[in-house]
């Protein structure tokens, strides 16, 4: 890597870490950087992307722990189901191109954007009674969610926060912390799967991870000092989904 590529990789990783820590879909930056800027094959980029995700998750959780915000409550069954699904997704990704989910991904993004804007109270209220999903619902739902995360990760954080907030009535900040716990947990195993199949570029991955872990830690640390954090994250969430849709439309038609 040239010095210019290193600087771009660290900067892109930093921005992705900031976005992932408060919202989700930072992988659209890192995956795009690796495939479009560095010319990396999509499946190698998919595996390499997990290094930054893990480092960012670890440093974000360290910052949240300092602020005593690491509480999973009754979400352990959801997290465990998601981890199992992610392992299955990662194994599948070794053999199938990530383009497989492209059409479904765009449709889900559009539906989420509509629901997010239509019912802002679902996202901004801090005093909601948390709902409980029966095993008949949460097992297939979080298995599919984890499978998608293991397969490509792109947008998984957005989908996860949407489900936690819209269906389970968690506030958006706690939903994001639980997301980071689950993603970090299964990413450790997924890295082993991709490495076994020689689908990780460690030099690029570790370079991006420098910026991504820094961005994740700083955002988690300073979030405790931000006033109206829920409202900020809500609008950030809308912005991330909207920009993702714009990028996909521009990329497809131009």
Q: Output the pLDDT for position 55.
A: 93
Q: Interhelix angle for 172-196 vs 76-93, to 10°?
A: 40
Q: How far apart are CA 101 and CA 97, in angstroms?
A: 9
Q: Indicate the number of domains in the chain.
A: 1
Supply the mean pLDDT for the chain: 81
Q: What are phi and psi of 41, to 5 degrees?
A: -60, 145
Is 213 within 8 Å of 59 (Cβ atoms)?
yes
**Treating both helix axes as pointing N-terminal to C-terminal, what angle do 42-66 and 202-223 enclose, rounded to 10 degrees?**
30
Q: Would you say 224 and 67 are in contact if contact means Cβ atoms under 8 Å apart?
A: yes
Phi, psi for 39 (deg, rounded to 5): 70, 30
In the chain, the percentage of residues whose pLDDT exceeds 90 is 24
pLDDT at position 65, please? 84
Does 169 score more than 90 pLDDT?
A: no
**Residue-level pLDDT at 193:** 93
Which tens digit of pLDDT belongs to each residue from 173-203?
788 888 889 999 999 999 999 999 999 999 9
When pLDDT is cut at 50, 70 and 90, the band that residue 161 belongs to is: confident
What pLDDT is stored for residue 98 in this prediction?
64
Of the ranges 62-76, 92-106, 110-124, the best mean pLDDT one: 62-76
In this prediction, residues 117-146 reach a mean pLDDT of: 72
What's residue 50's pLDDT? 92
Number of other residues whose CB lies within 10 A of the CB of residue 201: 20
Q: How many CB atoms lie within 10 A of CB 174?
A: 19
Task: Name the residue among 116, 143, 156, 146 with its Cα closest to residue 27.
Answer: 156
DSSP string computed for 168-225: T---HHHHHHHHHHHHHHHHHHHHHHHHHTT---HHHHHHHHHHHHHHHHHHHHHHTT
Domain enclosing residue 109, as ranges: 3-253
CA–CA dist 199, 48 (Å, integer): 7
**What integer is the mean pLDDT of 138-160?**
86
Task: Give the model confidence (pLDDT) of 8-49 as tens digits.
Answer: 899 888 988 888 887 777 777 888 888 878 888 888 888 999
Question: Is pLDDT above 70 for 163?
Answer: yes
Burial of 144 (C-beta count, 10 Å sphere; 0-12/13-18/19+):
middle
> Residue 20 has what pLDDT?
81
Position 71 confidence tier, pLDDT thresholds 50, 70, 90: confident
Say if residue 59's pLDDT is above 70: yes
The burial of 55, by beta-carbon neighbours within 10 Å (0-12 exposed, 13-18 middle, 19 or more buried), is given as buried
């Amino acid at each position: 890597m040239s010095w210019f590529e290193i600087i771009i990789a660290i900067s892109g990783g930093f921005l992705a870490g900031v976005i992932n820590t408060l919202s989700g879909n930072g992988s659209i930056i890192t995956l795009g950087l690796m495939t479009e800027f560095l010319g990396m094959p999509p499946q190698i980029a998919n595996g390499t992307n997990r290094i930054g995700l893990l480092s960012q998750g670890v440093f974000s959780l360290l910052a949240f722990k300092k602020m005593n915000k690491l509480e999973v409550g009754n979400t352990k069954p959801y997290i465990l189901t998601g981890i199992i699904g992610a392992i299955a997704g990662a194994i599948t990704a070794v053999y199938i191109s990530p383009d497989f989910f492209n059409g479904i991904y765009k449709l889900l993004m559009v539906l989420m954007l509509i629901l997010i804007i239509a019912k802002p109270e679902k996202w901004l209220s801090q005093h909601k009674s948390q709902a409980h999903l029966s095993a008949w619902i949460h097992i297939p739902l979080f298995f599919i969610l984890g499978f998608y995360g293991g397969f490509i990760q792109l947008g998984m954080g957005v989908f996860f926060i949407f489900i936690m907030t819209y269906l389970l009535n968690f506030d958006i900040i706690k939903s994001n912390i639980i997301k980071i716990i689950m993603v970090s947990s299964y990413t450790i195993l997924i890295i082993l799967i991709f490495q076994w199949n020689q689908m990780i570029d460690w030099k690029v991955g570790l370079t991006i991870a420098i910026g991504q872990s820094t961005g994740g830690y700083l955002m988690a640390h300073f979030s405790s000092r931000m006033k109206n954090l829920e409202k900020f994250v809500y609008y950030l969430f809308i912005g991330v989904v909207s920009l993702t849709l714009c990028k996909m439309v521009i990329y497809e038609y131009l």
